[in-house]
Structure 1
C-alpha cells in the first residue's frame, strides 16, 4: 500500500473509530435504561397478573358451584394453577422495602387457594351452606388481594419515581454531552484533516518550486522533500534527473571543447599527411617494378630469382588488397607459403618449416594477413638470432566447433609479462631493433573484433621452451562483428 493511500485509510479509520465509539456508548446506555424500565414494567405486570388470576379463580369457583360439571371443574383447576404460578413470580419481586407487605400478599394468595379447596370439599360433601360460606370468604380474600396489589403498585411507583426522574435528567445530560462530543469530534477531524492535507500539499509545493527553478536553468539547487510517501520518491527521482541533466550539460560542453581541439588536430594531421605522401614511394609502382624485374630475370634464365621476385610481388599485392576484408584460410596458407619461400631463400638451411594441414578445414573465414605476422615473429625471434637456425611447425586440424591453427617454434621463448602484454593488446617494445609491421598485438585485436570473442587466440611459452601460438577459428560467427571490424579496417 502506498503512502498517500495509507494516510487516506488512516483518516477514514479514525472517523469510523470515533463514530463506532459514540454508537457503542449510546447503544450501551439505551440498552441499560431499557433493561431497567423493562424490569419495573415486569414487576407491575406480575402483580396485576395475581389480581387477574385471583378474580378468575373466584369466577371459576362460582361457575362450578352453580353448575358442577367437569368442564367448569377443569376451568377452576387451570385458574388455581395460574394463581400458584403468579404467586411464584411475585416472590422474585421481594426487596428490603416491600418484604413485609409482600409476605402478607403471598399469604393472602395461599389463603385464597385454601378457601377455594375448602369450598370444593364442602360442595362434594353436600354441605351447601358451608360451601357458600367458603365461597364468600374466597370472594372477600380476592378483594383483599386486589386492594393489596394496588397498595404494592403504589409503593413501587413511589420507589421508582426517582428512577424515572433520573432517566429524564440523564436524557437531558445526554443531549448536552452529544453536542459537546459533536463539537470535539468536529475540532479533532478538522485538526487531523489539516495535518493530513499539509503532509501532502507542502511536499507538492516544494516540488513545484523546484520545477520552477529548473525551468529557469538553475540545476545546482538540491531538491529535498521530507515525506514518507510517493511524493518523496518522486522528489528523489526529480533530483536525480536534475543531476543527470547537469552532468549532461557539462559533458556537452566538454565534447564541444574536444571537438574544437579535434578539428584543429585534423587540420594539422592533414597537413602532415600531405607532407608524408610527398616522401613516400608509391606501393603500386613498387609492385609493378617487381613484376617487371621478375619477367626480366626469367627471360635472362634466372628462374629462381624470377620466382623469388614473383613471390615478393604477390605477397605485396596481397598485403595491399586483403587487409581490410576477410579471406579464407586457404588464401592465408597460400600466401604464407610464398612468404616462407622468400625466407628460405634468405636463411637457406637455417630455416626448417614443417606443416601438417587438414585441407578439409581451409574453407573457414578469418581476417586477412593473420598468419604471416605470427610466422614472421617466429622467424625474427627464433630463427634469425640463432647461428644454427631453428624450426617452425605449422599445423591445421579440425575440431567439433572450431578449426585449430597452431604455429610453434623452438626459439628462446617469451616471458609471462610479454605474453600478458600481447594478449591484453598493450604496446610491446620490439627486441633487437626488429619490427614486424603488423605486430602480434594488432593480430590479437583484429581476431577478437572479427569473431566477437576473447578466447580466439592463446600463447604458450617460457624461457628456452619455444613459443606456440594457437588460434581457434569458430566455424560459425555473427556477421555484425565482422562488419564492424571491416569498417574499422
Structure 2
C-alpha cells in the first residue's frame, strides 16, 4: 500500500467512525419516535374506521332497499363485518381519560348493528313503513357515531398533547446536538485535509505547470516530479504522453480527412445515382414523336399538329420534374392521356386505348412517373411488334380498403421467370429492345415499394400469348 492510499484510508476511517456514531444515534431516536407516532396514528385510524363503516352500512342499506338483490345484500354483509372488526379494534383504545366516552361509543355501535338487523327483518316481512322508520333511526345513529368519533379524536389529541410537546423539545435538543457534531466534524476534517493536502499539492503544482506548458504547444519541456508516490508515476506517464501526442494529433487529422472525403464521396454517389435516374429519357422516343409530328404537319392541317405539340410539351415538362416528389393520381392520368394521344397519332387504328376511371380515387398520392413507364412497355411490346396493333386498358377502381390501378394489354405476355426477375428488381423489362422514355419497370417497382412501404404494392399477371396485366394496390 503506497503513501497516498494510506492517507486517504486514514481520513476515510475517521469520517466513517464519526458518521457511524451519528447515524446510529439518529436511527435509534427516529425509530423510537416513529413507533410512538405509529401507535397514535393507529388509534386515529381505528376511530375513523368506525365512522367509515357506519356510513358504508347506511349507503348499502339504501341500495338494498332500492334494489334488494343478492349482490347488494353481499355488500351489506361485508360492511357489517367491517363494523364488527372496527368495534373490536376500538375496545383496545380504552384508557383512564376516555373510559366513559368509549363505553358509550361501543354501546352506540351495538345499537347501530341491532337497528340494522331490525330493518332487514322488516324488509324480509315486506313491512315498508317500519323499515323506513328503522332506516331513519340507522341514519341518526350513524350521525351520532360520527360526532362521537370526533369527540374521541379530540380527547386523544388532548391526551397526547404532552407527547407532542416532548417530541418538539427532543427535536430542539437533537438539532443542537447536530450542530455541535457538524462543527466538530468540520474542525477535524479541516486539520486532516490540510495535512493531507500539503503532501500532494506541491507535486501537483509542478504537474499542473507542466500541463499548462504542454497546452501551449511546448512539447520539448520534460515533466519531472521528485516524489515517490502515485503522482510521480502520473508525471512519468504524462511525460510519455507528451512524446506521443504529436503522433496522435497527426493520426486524428488524417482520419478526419479520410472521413470527410468518404462523406463527400457518398454525397457525390447519391447525387450521381439520382441524376442518372433523372437522365433516363430515351432519345428514340423523342425522335419518333418529332418525326410523327412533322409528318402530320405535312399531310394534315395545323389543328391536330398543335394538339400533338401540346401533348409533347406536357410530357417533357412532366418528365423534367424531380423523381423524389409525389403527385396525385389525377396528374399521372393527365400526362398518360397526353402520352397516349401521341401514340395514337403514331399508330392510328393499330392502337386501341380504353380508360375506366373512378373520379373519387384521383386525389390519392403516387410517386411521379409511375404509370407512364408501364404503359410505354405495353405500347412497345404489345402494340408495336404486331401487324394488327393491339389494345391497352387502364382501370382505376375504388375498393373497400384500397385503390386498384390495372394496366392491361393483349400482347404476347411475359414468361413467369422474367416476371419474378422484374418483381425482384433485378432486371429492366426487355431492356435491350426498349427505347421508350421513362425510368424502367424495375425502377418503378422499387420506388413504389419504398413510397408505400409494402412489397405487395405491385403484382404482374401474365401468360405467354394471352396478354399482361399490371396491378397496383394502394391501401387507404
Q: Using CA pairs below 8 Å that are at least 6 residues apart, which structure has the higher relative contact order?
A: 2
Q: TM-score, normalised by structure 1?
A: 0.38
Q: Decide which structure has the larger Cα Rg and report it.
A: 1
Q: TM-score, normalised by structure 2?
A: 0.39
